[in-house]
Amino acid sequence: MKKIVTGFLLLIVVSTISCKSSFTDAKRQELLQLQKELDNKPFAFQAETALPFQTQALNNVANDLLLQSGNSTARINLRGDGYTIKIGEMLAKFSLPFYGERRLTGGYNGTNTGFDFESKMSDRNVVLEEDNGYLSYKFTTTNQTETIDVKIAIYSMENVRVDVNSSHRTFMKYEGKLVWIVEE
């Protein structure tokens, strides 16, 4: 019995040690260098995938439309559509689609159904999240009717996740990549 308990404890210890994150010193240095560059250069997030918040209303409406194109309400392909967030010194320009529910209305005959506006950023915060292995770039912005909290999780230039939390709509997530904006 003692051998079984010892073997079981050894198995738990080995499993716990093997589950350690693969966040290396080289990855840390890469993200710290990227953090410095984000402070000094304008950049753009290019959306490749939209991940809407799942609600019954969205599923009822969108699945019939999206299934014809190979998408679903859980994952919508945006590649090649040119959806971006461009970020300068203290200015963000949004051009992202929105799939979900409005919690508060934006008026009648609204033509701005997506996140399509330019605004100043406030509460900007860039932090290396070592426990989770990514660089966190957060800010708050407003358009004419709503406040929007944005969190950009940067794992690498090619692997970026954006969370958009609006005061008037269900939240959205996007996956894509970062590119540097070349100033002319």
For residue 182, give every residue at least 6 positions away whose Cβ sits within 8 Å of its Cβ, in sequence order, or none: none
As beta bridge partners, residue 165 has 149
Map tokens 């996956």 to a residue: 175
Other C-beta atoms lying within 10 Å of the C-beta of residue 96: 20
The answer to the question of residue 63 being in a domain is: yes
* Tens-digit pLDDT profile for residues 121-162: 999 999 999 888 999 999 999 988 889 999 999 999 999 999
Residue 3 belongs to some domain of the structure = no
Residues whose CB falls within 8 Å of the CB of residue 18, separated by 6 or more in sequence, listed in order: none
* Average pLDDT for 81-108: 84
Cβ contact 44:86 at 8 Å: yes
9 falls within a domain: no
Locate all alpha helices (DSSP H) within the chain, ordered by sequence. Answer: 2-18, 25-40, 56-66
The reported pLDDT for the residue numbered 67 is 62
In a domain, 136, yes or no: yes
**CATH number reported for the structural domain that contains residue 87 in this entry:** 2.40.128.410
Number of domains in the chain: 1
134 in any annotated domain:
yes
Residue 30 lies in a domain: yes
In a domain, 15, yes or no: no
In a domain, 68, yes or no: yes
Instruction: For residue 22, name the pLDDT band (cuts at 50, 70, 90).
Output: low
Q: How far apart are CA 64 and CA 111, in angstroms?
A: 23
C-alpha distances (whole Å) from 82 to each of 54, 121, 129, 132, 159 are: 24, 22, 29, 29, 17
pTM for the model stands at 0.80
User: Which range of residues forms the domain containing residue 90?
Assistant: 21-180
Q: Tokens representing 16?
A: 């716990």
Q: How many residues does the chain have?
A: 184
Q: How confident is the model at residue 39 (pLDDT cuts 50, 70, 90)?
A: confident
Residue 97 three-state SS: coil
| 48 pLDDT more than 90 | yes
